[in-house]
Amino acid sequence: MVRYVYAFTEGDRDMADLLGGKGANLAEMTRLGLPVPPGFTVTTEACRTFLTTGSEPVGLAREISDRLAGLEEAAGRCLGQPDDPLLLSVRSGARFSMPGMMETILNIGLDDESVQGLAKSSGNERFAWDSYRRLVQMFGSTVMGVGSNLFEEAMADLKQDRGVADDLGLDAADLAELVETYKELIHQETGESFPQSPAEQLQRAVLAVFQSWNAERARLYRRREHIPDDLGTAVNVQTMVFGNLGPDSGSGVAFTRDPATGRTGVYGDYLANAQGEDVVAGIRNTVPLDELGRLNPEAFDRLRDHMVTLEAHYRDLCDIEFTIERGRLWMLQTRVGKRTAEAAFTIAAELTDEGLITADEGLARVGGDGLARLMFPRFDTSAVGDPLAHGIPASPGAAVGAAVFDSAEAVRRATVGEKVVLVREETTPDDLPGMVAAQAVLTSRGGKTSHAAVVARGMGKVCVCGAEEIMVDPQRRRFTAGGTTVEEGTVISVDGSEGAVYPGAAPLIDSAVMKYFEASEHTDGLVDAVARAMEHADRVRRLGVRANADTPEDAARARRFGAEGIGLCRTEHMFLGDRRQLVEAMILARTNAERERALTALLPLQRQDFTGILEAMDGLPVTVRLLDPPLHEFLPDRTELAVRLAAAEAHGSPPSEHDADLLDAVNRMHEENPMLGLRGVRLGLVAPGLVAMQVRAIAEAVVERRRAGGDPRAEIMVPLIDTVEELRLVRQEVEQVLADVSTESGVTVDCPIGTMIELPRAALTAGRIAEEAQFFSFGTNDLTQTTWGFSRDDVEAAFFSAYLDKGIFKVSPFETIDREGVGRLVEIAVAEGRAARPGLKIGVCGEHGGDPESVHFFHAAGLDYVSCSPFRVPVARLEAGRAAL
Q: In the complex, which residues of this chain contact ligand PEP (CB under 6 A)?
A: 568, 570, 628, 758, 779-782, 845-846
Q: How far is the CB of 424 from ligand PEP (least distance, A)?
A: 41
Q: Minimal distance in Å, beta carbon 548 to Mg ion?
A: 11
Q: Which stretch binds Mg ion (CB under 5 A): 237-245, 399-407, 557-565, 772-780?
A: 772-780
Q: Is 843 in the site for Mg ion (CB under 5 A)?
A: no
550 binds Mg ion (CB under 5 A): no
Is the Cβ–Cβ distance between 511 and 342 less than 8 Å?
no
Residue 140: contacted member of ligand PEP, Mg ion, none (CB under 5 to 8 Å, by partner type): none
C-alpha span between 681 and 341 (Å, rounded): 43
Cβ closest to ligand PEP, residue 370 vs residue 849: 849
**Residue 847 touching Mg ion (CB under 5 A):** no
Of 409 and 782, the one with the shorter C-beta distance to Mg ion is 782
Residues 442, 446, 449, 455, CA torsion sign = negative
Identity of the residue, 561 or 814, whose beta carbon is nearer to ligand PEP in the bound complex:
814
Query: H or E stretch including 553?
Result: helix 552-560
Nearest 5°: phi and psi at 708? -85, 5
- CB 719 → ligand PEP: shortest distance, Å? 7
3-state secondary structure of 716: strand
Binds 846: which of ligand PEP, Mg ion, none (CB < 5-8 Å by kind): ligand PEP
CA–CA–CA angle 802, 806, 808 (5° rounding):
95
DSSP E strands in 626-685: the ranges are: none
CA 333 – CA 322 distance, rounded (Å) = 7
Pick 198 or 779: Cβ nearer ligand PEP: 779
* C-beta of 715 vs 782, nearer to Mg ion: 782
- Rounded least distance, CB 781 to Mg ion, Å: 5
Smallest distance from the beta carbon of 633 to ligand PEP, in angstroms? 12
373 burial via Cβ count (<10 Å: 0-12, 13-18, 19+): middle
Task: Read off φ and ψ for residue 575, nearest 5 degrees.
Answer: -100, 10
- Residue 780 binds which of ligand PEP, Mg ion, none (CB < 5-8 A, kind-dependent): ligand PEP
Q: Which does 568 bind (CB under 5 to 8 A by kind): Mg ion, ligand PEP, none?
A: ligand PEP
Interatomic CA distance for residues 756 and 763, integer angstroms: 10
Cβ partners under 8 Å of residue 667, min gap 6: 638
Q: Which does 174 bind (CB under 5 to 8 A by kind): ligand PEP, Mg ion, none?
A: none
**Which residue in 368, 567, 712, 779 binds Mg ion (CB under 5 A)?**
779
CA dist list (Å): 166 to 149, 170, 179, 253, 467: 17, 8, 17, 23, 20
How many CB atoms within 10 Å of residue 476? 12
- Closest distance of CB 719 from Mg ion, Å: 6
Q: Which is nearer to ligand PEP, 438 or 757 (CB)?
A: 757
Shorter beta-carbon distance to ligand PEP: residue 176 or 817:
817
* 250 forms part of the interface with Mg ion (CB under 5 A): no
Q: Based on CB atoms, which residue is closest to Mg ion, 782 or 864?
A: 782
Provide the 3-class DSSP secondary structure of residue 726: helix
Candidates 140-148, 316-324, 758-766, 863-871; binding stretch for Mg ion (CB under 5 A):
758-766
| Candidates 306, 390, 451, 848; catalytic one | 451
Selection from ligand PEP, Mg ion, none that 296 binds (CB < 5 to 8 A by kind) is none
Min CB(849)–ligand PEP separation in Å = 8
The verdict on whether 845 is a catalytic residue reads yes
Residues 6+ apart with CB under 8 A from 566: 546, 547, 548, 549, 555, 558, 613, 617, 620, 621, 622, 623, 867
Tell me what percent of the chain is helix, strand and coil, each rounded to the nearest 5.
Answer: 50, 15, 35
Q: Which among Mg ion, ligand PEP, none contacts residue 840 (Cβ within 5 to 8 A by kind)?
A: none
From ligand PEP, Mg ion, none, which one binds at residue 570 (CB under 5 to 8 Å depending on kind)? Answer: ligand PEP
Least distance in angstroms from the C-beta of 797 to Mg ion: 20
Q: Report the distance separating Cα 341 and Cα 320, nearest Å.
A: 20
782 is a contact residue toward Mg ion (CB under 5 A):
yes
Eight-class DSSP state of 518: H
Residue 760 near Mg ion by CB under 5 A:
no
> Which amino acid is it at 205?
A
Query: Residues 845, 810: contact at Cβ < 8 Å?
Result: no
Tell me which residues touch Mg ion (CB under 5 A): 758, 779, 782
Q: Which residues are the active-site residues?
A: 451, 845
